[in-house]
Every structure is written in C-alpha cells, then in structure tokens.
Amino acid sequence: MLWYDGCVGKLRQMGIPLAYIRWIKAWLENREGYIEINDKKSMWFSIGKGGPQGGILTPTVFITYHADMPDFLSWCSSHFFADDLTAILAGQIGVKYTQQCLDLEKKLKLFFDQLEYYSRLTVQPINYSKTEGILGKRSARAIGSAPFEIESGENKINWIKEFKYLGYWISSKLGWSKMIKKSMLKIR
C-alpha cells in the first residue's frame, strides 16, 4: 500500500536525483489491473497505491519509503524486509519478574502507539491479523501464556510460541533447536 505522493516527497528529502524520482513516479502511477477467477476477468480498474506485484524494484522502493521508521521507533531494535516488520523490545534486567512484566507492558503500549502514529503519517495501514508477539523464555520464567495482554487500539495482539521469519524459525526459547529440527526433516 505504497502512498505515491508520500514516497515521492520522501525521495526528494533523501536527495535522490530528480530524474530518478520522475522515473520511479512514472513507474508507480497510471497502472491498471483486473481480477481473474476461473477464467472470468473483471473490468479493468485503476490502481492508486502499491507497487507492481513481483516487480524487482517494488521491495527497494517500499523499504526506502520506510527508511525513516527507526526515527519513530528509535528505542527498540526494528528489522524491515519488504513489507514485513519485526521489532525487538527488551525488559529491564536485575529487577523482580513482576517489575519486568510491567516495564515490558509499558514499552509495548508505547511501541504500538508510535507504530500506529507512523502508519497514519505514511498512509500505511497495519495488518493486525498478521501481527503477533512472542515472549522470550529468558525474560519470562512462566511456562505457558504471557503474563499480560497486548492491545493496539481496538486490536488484540496474540501471543505465539514460535514463528517463521525470512526462512528462520524463532521460538520463545530463542534457540536454534526448532530450525535445526525442521532443516533435518527437509534433508531426510
């Protein structure tokens, strides 16, 4: 959902040469598409956001468009690949477990408030159906579910025990065993 005018403005601020900006703008704008289901095609319609699906330049333009995201989330580690964002937040060390949980809950609330603010500025909606949280076992002594709920506005964020990111399986134990087991199954 790349916002064209916002993208062009950010490219200008970055000092990208005007000839490149014009080329990228022409490449993004005036596109049309149709939907085909079971050999039946819809009428052609204009596409006003996003980059060409599967286009070689689309991920690069998208990442460039969001190059300022760390300015909004500077207090956590964030990793961006194409249209996926992973953020890592750490709780306090050396304090009681309950205090760690309270601190982490506050940080998560701040994170989602700032992420929501950024998403509105950039006209980039958050896909809450794909948004999940994982609590590292090193920071959580409790086995089972997380000790608190995560919400962003009206959206409840689900806690999970593992997820796949860029081909790697990450579990709440923050180890490599899941990845090694899955790789061994593929090899067999």
pLDDT tens string 91-117: 788 888 888 888 888 999 999 999 899
The whole-number pLDDT of residue 82 equals 63
Ordered alpha helix ranges (H), 33-155: 58-65, 69-72, 97-121
The whole-number pLDDT of residue 144 equals 52
Mean pLDDT score of the chain, rounded to an integer? 83
Global pTM value: 0.72
168 in a domain, yes or no? no
135 in a domain, yes or no? yes
The structure tokens 């490219």 sit at 11
Decide if pLDDT at 139 tops 50.
no
Q: Containing H/E element for 6?
A: helix 4-13
Decide if pLDDT at 175 tops 80.
no
Same domain, 107 and 155: yes
Pairing of strands 162-165, 155-160: unpaired
Q: Containing H/E element for 177?
A: helix 177-187
Domain that holds residue 39: 1-62
Decide if pLDDT at 11 tops 90.
yes
Same domain, 44 and 72: no
The whole-number pLDDT of residue 71 equals 85
Confidence of residue 14 (pLDDT cuts 50, 70, 90): very high
186 in a domain, yes or no? no
